[in-house]
Amino acid sequence: AEGNALDAAGTNNGTIVGGVTYAPGEVGQAFSFGGVNGYVSVPTSPALNLTNALTIEAWVEVNNLNTYYFIATKGPSGTAGNNYSGNFEFRIAPNGYMQLLHQTSTGGALATYTAAKAVTTGVFHHIAVTLVSGGDVNFYLDGVSAGTFSQQGTFGLTNSQPVRNGTRADFFSYFNGLIDELSIYNRALSLNEIASIYHAGSGGKNMAPEIVTLPQSQTVMQGSNASFSVTASGAPLLAY
């Protein structure tokens, strides 16, 4: 947050709506939501309509588990009502378990996935979910796996809705607690990448690159030079 709703990694800047302030977070300042009418709205853009894969991750501290709390939502799509998940809906259920929802048709059919581990109140947790269309949905809690599920139905139903942090289109509820370092990616981060973000803690994003091609062994004469090459991959986060 750092005192504003600007995108720290790109141009998807947000606007604060209602009662959102700032408080000490896991990394610098966090958005502080009072659970009454506050959220952050990020205008739609092609980069935020995810069609093949996604990762949503953040540090969160919930004050209670009285209702569904929405971390990041972009819905609805098509003719579905405002209570439908659209492109994606990442939330915490009243039992503390993370959930990811996405529509599988423009008329309102949807898929729901629920993590196997729950957050607790009053402390920061790092939460994350990844999805690969036609592959798997993976949840992570504090840097470790919290459940793996097969992706169901169609994914990638885009729309012109903003990304809302702290609520969804029907304003069913408003987040009560802190959200920090919320990031959305157009690919599925690996377990190692998720774990590196968690273990970096207050140091912020610290994702190690993925090694694609290892250096090959060589034999050279003593005193001669040897050249090695390695191929690594990685990508910056898509949004804040």
* Tokens encoding 36: 């009454």
Reference 168, options 53, 31, 39; nearest CA is 39
Residues 131-170 have pLDDT tens digits of: 999 999 999 999 999 999 999 999 999 999 999 999 999 9
Residues 179-196 have pLDDT tens digits of: 999 999 999 999 999 999
* Tokens encoding 140: 């992570």
Q: Phi and psi dihedrals of 196, rounded to 5?
A: -65, -35
pLDDT of 238? 40
What's CA 174's distance to the chain center, in Å? 18
**CA-derived radius of gyration, the chain:** 19
- Global pTM reads 0.85
Question: pLDDT below 50 — which residues of the chain?
Answer: 235-240
